[in-house]
Each structure stands twice: as C-alpha cells, then as structure tokens.
C-alpha cells in the first residue's frame, strides 16, 4: 500500500534507535564518568567524545599535562586513549544503553533504556565517585547509586559536572576545567 498523507505534507521519518558504547572501567577506576548518550559523531566513530568541539579530552589533557594523550596516527589512538584514561583512575560510560534520537542533543532523546550498572559489579572495587557529565546524566544519579550501592563500600558519591558538550556554551573551558579539577583532586587523582 502506498504511503498516504495529507496533501502538501511530508511523511514523518521513522526515528532511529541507537545502541550505546560499552563501558571503559577497571580495577583501578576511582571515578566513573557518566555521560547521557554518545552524540552522532561518537556513534559513527564508535568512540566516546569523538566530536572535535567537545571539551572532554581537552579537559583531561589539561588536568594531566605531563602525560600527553596518544596522538592521532600512533597505532590505535582510541584504544591508547582508553588505556590512558584507566591509568589515571577513570572509567567511562553512559546512563543510557540505547535510545531513539534525531541529532545529538540530549533534549531529543526518547524511549531511552538505562544501562545495567550491576554489570560493573566486581570490576571497580576502588570506585569512590560517579561524575555525571551534564544535567541529563545527573538526572539519573539516584537510580545509578541505588544500582551501584550493594557493590560499593563505602557509599559512592554522585557529582554533577558541567557538560563538556559544545552545546554547553554558557560555561567557558576554564570554568569547566576548574570544576573537573576540583573533583579529581578531591579523589586523589591529581
């Protein structure tokens, strides 16, 4: 049967359901950074924070200037960045496992499925804080802490950090860096 719609109107395209990325975490993870869901550039690259305007990797490099991030063209730079991240006591994941979304904005996320944080059980025995990279992630802080609670003694802190997204233009790079530095210092990572 042909697509039938009112004269002069266009059919509404189906929303795409996207699958997120796996967690990056290990025994040395002290701070788990949780985003909401990867943007379009990250999903295409299958890499966290792949958009060149996102401040995530720039902030981390500024926090540890004596330990440069692996440069592009040196083997598998993303795998090396993940190892670099783990060596600093950090882990990385997102609140959502999958969702429907057009574009990359958190406000466009629909029908999201939250990740099963119990999957981290036993993987992060030193976990002390969950750092939410932005408001959408932080909205789920109570549920994340409940699911992590049984595996974390003492209890884990939840911290809302300013989003590193280019959409968060109200915070300068310097303000974002200061907030992220405060958290890392509080957990002995700087």
Tell me which residues are annotated as active site. Answer: 54
What is the DSSP annotation of 162-184?
A: PP-STT-TTS-HHHHHHHHHHHH
How buried is 65 (Cβ within 10 angstroms: 0-12 exposed, 13-18 middle, 19+ buried)? exposed
Whether 114 and 143 have beta carbons less than 8 Å apart is answered as yes
Those residues with Cβ within 8 angstroms of residue 46's Cβ, 6 or more apart along the chain or in another chain: 21
């Amino acid at each position: 049967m042909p697509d039938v719609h009112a004269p002069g109107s266009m059919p509404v395209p189906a929303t795409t359901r996207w699958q997120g990325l796996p967690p990056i975490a290990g025994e040395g993870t002290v701070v788990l950074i949780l985003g909401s869901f990867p943007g379009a550039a990250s999903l295409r690259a299958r890499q966290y924070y792949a958009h060149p305007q996102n401040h995530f990797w720039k902030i981390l490099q500024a926090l540890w200037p004596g330990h440069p991030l692996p440069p592009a063209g040196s083997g598998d730079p993303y795998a090396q960045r993940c190892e670099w991240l783990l060596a600093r006591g950090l882990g990385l994941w997102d609140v959502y496992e999958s969702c429907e979304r057009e574009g990359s904005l958190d406000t466009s996320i629909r029908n999201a499925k939250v990740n099963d944080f119990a999957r981290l059980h036993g993987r992060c025995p030193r976990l002390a804080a969950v750092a939410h990279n932005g408001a959408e992630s932080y909205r789920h802080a109570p549920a994340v802490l409940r699911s992590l609670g049984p595996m974390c003694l003492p209890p884990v802190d939840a911290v809302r950090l300013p989003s590193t997204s280019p959409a968060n233009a109200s915070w300068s790079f310097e303000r974002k860096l200061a907030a992220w530095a405060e958290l890392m210092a509080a957990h002995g990572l700087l």
